[in-house]
Each structure stands twice: as C-alpha cells, then as structure tokens.
C-alpha cells in the first residue's frame, strides 16, 4: 500500500511539474508573440525610414544639380559684368581722350 501511495505522490508531483511547465510555456509563447510584434513594428519603421532616406537623397541630388546650374549662370553673369565694366571704362577713357 505504501508503494501505491508513493506512486500517487510521484504522479501528483509530476502532474504539478507538468502544469508548471505548461504555464511557463504559455508565458514564453506570450513573450515570444509580443517580441514578434515588436520586431514587425521595428521592421516597418526601418523600411519607412529607408524609403524616406531614399526620397531625401533623390531630392538632395536634384537640388545639388540645380545649384550647379545656378552657380554656372552666376559665373556667366559675373563674367558679363566684368566685360561690361571694362567696356564702360574703355568708353570713358575714349571720351576723356576726345574731350
């Protein structure tokens, strides 16, 4: 009879351990699910940031290209201004010589 009681106690102990393990597995699954959701959110945020970076790099390239065009036009204007100032100076000298 004590062998049966021992087996009952052993079975009860094993059942308790099994219930605890099931509870722990359920908790681990819950934590895993939460972390998977966090990972999905982080992946979406990463992709959105990557897309934004791509758009901003394209915009930067466009602005730099436009800036180069404007710089070229500015240099041409400066050269034209220099030429016009030289011509004005030349005309003044000629006018001075004539008078």
Distance between CA atoms of residues 19 and 9, nearest Å: 15
Q: What is the pLDDT of residue 61?
A: 96
Q: What is the pLDDT of residue 97?
A: 83
Matching residue, tokens 């934590």? 31
* Weakly modelled stretches of the chain, pLDDT under 70: none
* pLDDT tens digit sequence for 46-68: 999 999 999 999 999 999 999 99
The pTM (predicted TM-score) of the whole model is 0.59
Distance between CA atoms of residues 45 and 51, nearest Å: 10
Q: What is the pLDDT of residue 16?
A: 97
Q: What is the pLDDT of residue 1?
A: 72
């Amino acid at each position: 009879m004590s062998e049966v009681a021992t087996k009952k106690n052993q079975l009860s102990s094993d059942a308790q351990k099994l219930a605890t393990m099931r509870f722990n597995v359920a908790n681990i699954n819950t934590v895993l699910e939460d972390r998977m959701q966090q990972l999905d959110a982080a992946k979406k945020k990463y992709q959105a940031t990557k897309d934004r970076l791509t758009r901003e790099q394209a915009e930067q390239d466009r602005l730099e290209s436009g800036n180069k065009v404007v710089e070229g036009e500015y240099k041409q204007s400066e050269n034209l201004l220099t030429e016009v100032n030289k011509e004005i100076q030349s005309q003044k000298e000629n006018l001075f010589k004539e008078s």
